[in-house]
Chain A
Amino acid sequence: MTAPAGARPAKPRPGWGLVAGLVGFTALTWWAGGARYGIGFSVAEMIDNARRARRIVSDFFNPDWNFAPATVAPFVETLQMAILAAVIGCGAALIVAFLASRLTTPNNPVYLVDKGGLNVLRALPDLLYALVFVAAFSIGPLGGILALIMFNVGVVAKLLSETVDGVDTGPVEAAQAAGAGRLQTVRTAVFPQVLPNYLAYSLYAFELNLRASTVIGYVGAGGIGQLVQTQVARFAYGRVTVIIVEIFVIVFVIESISIALRRRLV
């Protein structure tokens, strides 16, 4: 077992997983980025396009600040939509989450139906909900609020059910030993353990709502997005810039506050 001094051990060969991964990665990238099948990614085209669109670009860089007062009311509506959807959505998510954890829902069919429904709910994008609800209810904030509620239930219930899965089972056993029913166990042994997380997720959902409600209006679901849509349709790009800057600032401020609050909670 005496190796000659200075001799290095041979490098291990790359595993088949790594090789397969790299081959898959290269193939996917070639397929997706190539000009033949994919989106035809090319820098030259990008520069060419940008040059032709010089007037539009200069419009974007000349924000029409006089438009700012007209954006206040839609922003207020956006905020109201975000608040209402967060409150209703997170309330509903509480029930959905407890039904989606084995700890609180030992009944197998109920658990499976709830969990499966949650997965389908989460597979659909928020904008799609907005499209459908606007068609079914009406153009305006109602469709938007309902779309955001669906979105919030998906996000919060997923996160919360995973937290419930991970709680300390000691208090649960203690509650059961004391003769507590299922609801009493959840109320006294599980809920207090997950409450800080639940509040943090709810704040997070509100944050996401604010961000999402700036865009779902684009399909007619009220709020600032609807204003973006009308201004884009008129090619009033200077006004669009104003709205984008405002969205940027508002999302930034609310997110900072929310992150600070969440850090205190958890």
Chain B
Amino acid sequence: MAQASTDPLTAPRTRPGTARPRPPRRPLRMALWLAVTGAVLWAALGVDVDLSDLLVGPGRLLSIAGLMFTPPDWAYAGRAFEGMLESIQIAWIGTLLGAVFSLPLGFLAAKNVTAATGSTVARQVLNGIRAVPELILAIAFVPILGLGAFAGTMAIGLHSIGTLGKLTAEVIEGIDAGPVEAARATGASTSAVMRWGVLPQVLPDVVAFWLYRFEINLRTSAILGLVGAGGVGGILQNTLQYRRWDKAGMTILVIVAATVAIDAVSSRIRRRIIAGPDRAVVVAPVEAT
């Protein structure tokens, strides 16, 4: 209002097009950048790193890679593959455990299904479970449940409850309210509303998430053996510890090959679940009416 001089009719004509408007000042953004820069400087100056290691490292890395892969110990493939199979089993059962327990928890944590207090409590429980990394869980479970695949499975299962429960709750919160209302209008009980109004809407997404979690859990179960929780990680740990580089190289090759192959299959199944059947079948063209 006060800037009447900006009126194009009355404003003094100062060669239009040459003067650019000044960029707006953003004090908050400036402060944020300063904070980030400060944090980076603090970290860079404070961390205990010997820069001379940085010079010799790459050379050693190359020689290790050479020892690992030129050539890897092909005869060790069978042993590594056995370990990988155990890792797959751990990931599968762990994901299954997570799926079974996360589904009801996901319903409890969804705001449009459960009352506010209940959903908040359930959500915080899920957040709490997710905050502890699987490896830490495995470290705690190994002395309690004994060395081996069982401890790893429980660690992966427990963590998966947290991640899958949160995703399930988010999917449920995104559903169409129509079918729920329709089910309610027919006088359906709460459990019937869940079964017929909510579950069919979320099931494809939720099952796809389970498969996706299986892919992630496979990567995790491949390393849990480092703490004695079963799977191929134990083999990796041993071969690296005793500097059997060619055997370690073979093990890494097996891990990568199995992970990539299972990812490919799993992502195809996921796409099929989400997109539905018979995408290739073209519906007979309808004549113009």
Contact = CB atoms under 8 A, between A and B. Distances in A.
B46 A145 contact: no
Contacts of B227: 218, 232
Nearest to A38: B89
Interface residues on B, range: 35 or more
Contact of A39 (B93, B131, B263): B93
A170 to B, nearest CB: 23
A112 to B, nearest CB: 16
Contacts of A251: 131-132
Contacts of A17: 272, 277
A232 B139 contact: yes
B86 A39 contact: yes
Interface string A145-163: 1100000000000000000
Given A77-B47, A132-B64, A29 B93 contact: yes
Contacts of B139: 218, 228, 232, 240
Contacts of B280: none
Given A83-B43, A128-B236, A40 B150 contact: yes
Interface residues of A, number: 66
A141 interface: yes
A180 interface: no
18 contacts: A17-B277, A29-B93, A32-B89, A37-B89, A39-B90, A49-B150, A57-B144, A77-B47, A80-B44, A83-B43, A84-B44, A133-B57, A133-B61, A137-B60, A141-B49, A142-B54, A215-B135, A244-B136
Interface of B: 39-40, 42-44, 46-50, 53-54, 56-58, 60-61, 64, 86, 88-90, 92-93, 96, 127-128, 131-133, 135-136, 139-140, 143-146, 148-150, 153-154, 219-220, 222-223, 226-227, 230, 233, 236-237, 240, 252, 255-256, 259-260, 263, 269, 272, 277
Nearest to A81: B47
B147 to A, nearest CB: 11
A96 interface: no
B131 A15 contact: no
Interface in A235-265: 235, 237, 240, 244, 247-248, 251-252, 255
Contact of A131 (B49, B88, B131, B240): B240
Nearest to A244: B136
Nearest to A76: B46
Nearest to B60: A136
A84 B136 contact: no
Contacts of B47: 77, 80-81, 84, 141, 145
Given A56-B143, A60-B140, A39 B135 contact: no
Contacts of B255: 123-125, 128
A40 B240 CA distance: 28
